[in-house]
């Protein structure tokens, strides 16, 4: 088994980690296909579970930790951490 | 949880909608009716849904406006609208909508509480099958 990889990141999206930013995060976790857990406070949930991620109640500025010991963990964590550290709400205005 | 977020008048448990658009309009109207948002917010909810589905699992969707529409939110509020016959939601079947109007983070604990309920299949079923307003308030607050 690979070593446990970990990234701690602060949620950057203005609306926190729910609604659209949560969906984008979960979709990316599903797409990457690497089992990743996300922790906020006492609670740890699978990154590919929309309900799990919503249940964290993470707002802008909440510190969350991503963890995985699966193959490809480093790359997956980098991608997911990068997503969390961007303000996905601010980018929406440019989506059109 | 802030109890003022959920006005009992915004809990509608016996609605029907032909499609997702109609269901979202119903949710938006419920938020308009309790004075949480101005009319244009309803269009912003539809716009949000076109960019990304607000389906969260367990037969539940959480329609809400775009970030740009925050300015027309008068006060944070949610509505709970139940469609007992179900609504096709981009291939998923939705029987419960939790519509959201939020200017800031006031509704996040409530969303987290909702997600927590839905992660428990038994409680999720109770909420989806609720026929009385007080049942919904008891579960969510």
Q: What is the pLDDT of residues B17-38, one digit of tens each?
A: 999 999 999 999 999 999 999 9
Alpha helices in B10-132, H assignment, sequence order: 20-33, 40-51, 108-118, 121-128
Strands A37-40 and A43-46, sheet pairing: antiparallel
Containing structural domain, residue A18: 5-88
Specify the CATH number for the domain of residue A40: 3.30.1340.10
Q: What is the pLDDT of residues B104-120, one digit of tens each?
A: 777 788 789 899 999 99
Contact B79, B98 (CB under 8 A): yes
Asked whether residue A73 is assigned to any structural domain, the reply reads: yes
User: Rounded to an integer, what distance in angstroms lies between the CA atom of residue B120 and that of residue B50?
Assistant: 29
Asked whether residue A83 is assigned to any structural domain, the reply reads: yes
Asked whether residue A22 is assigned to any structural domain, the reply reads: yes
CA distance A71 to chain B (A): 27
CA distance B59 to chain A (A): 12
Specify the CATH number for the domain of residue B58: 3.40.930.10
Asked whether residue A96 is assigned to any structural domain, the reply reads: no
Asked whether residue A12 is assigned to any structural domain, the reply reads: yes
- Nearest chain B residue to A87 by CA distance is B67
Scored b (16 or more CB within 10 A) or e, B5-26 reads: bbbeebbbbebebeebeebbbb
| C-alpha distances out from residue B34 to A74, B9, B73, Å | 48, 7, 12
Residue that the structure tokens 């799990």 belong to:
A52
Size of interface A-B (CB pairs under 8 A): 59
Asked whether residue A95 is assigned to any structural domain, the reply reads: no
Q: Which of A24, A50, A57 sits opposite B56 (nearest CB)?
A: A50
- What's the number of domains chain A is made of? 1
What is the value of pTM for the model shown? 0.88
Asked whether residue A93 is assigned to any structural domain, the reply reads: no
- What's the number of domains chain B is made of? 1
Minimal CA–CA distance to B23: which of B71, B93, B77?
A: B93
Asked whether residue A57 is assigned to any structural domain, the reply reads: yes
Q: Which of B56, B68, B118 sits opposite A93 (nearest CB)?
A: B68
Contact A93 B54 (CB under 8 A): no
Catalytic residues of A: 18
Interface ipTM: 0.82
Q: What is the pLDDT of residues A36-94, one digit of tens each?
A: 999 999 999 999 999 999 999 999 999 999 999 999 999 999 999 999 999 887 776 65
Containing structural domain, residue B107: 3-140
């Amino acid at each position: 088994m690979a070593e446990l990889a970990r990234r701690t990141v602060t949620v950057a999206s203005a609306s926190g980690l729910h609604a659209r930013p949560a969906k984008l995060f979960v979709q990316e976790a599903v797409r990457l296909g690497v089992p990743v857990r996300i922790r906020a406070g006492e609670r740890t949930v699978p990154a590919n579970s929309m309900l799990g991620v919503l249940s964290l109640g993470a707002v802008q500025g909440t510190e969350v930790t991503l963890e995985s010991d699966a193959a490809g963990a480093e790359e997956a964590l980098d991608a997911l951490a990068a997503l969390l550290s961007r303000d996905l709400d601010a980018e929406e205005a440019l989506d059109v | 949880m802030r109890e003022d977020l959920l006005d009992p008048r915004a809990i509608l448990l016996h609605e029907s909608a032909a499609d997702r658009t109609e269901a979202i309009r119903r949710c938006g109207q419920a938020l308009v009716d309790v004075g949480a948002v101005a009319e244009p917010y309803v269009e912003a909810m539809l716009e949000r849904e076109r960019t990304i589905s607000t389906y969260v699992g367990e037969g539940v969707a959480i329609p809400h406006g775009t970030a740009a529409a925050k300015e027309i939110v008068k006060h944070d509020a949610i509505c709970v609208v139940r469609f007992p016959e179900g609504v096709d939601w981009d291939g998923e079947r939705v029987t419960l909508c939790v519509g959201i109007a939020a200017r800031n983070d006031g509704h996040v604990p409530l969303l987290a509480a909702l997600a927590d309920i839905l992660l428990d299949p038994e409680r999720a079923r109770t909420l989806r099958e609720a026929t009385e307003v007080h049942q919904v308030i008891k579960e969510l607050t």
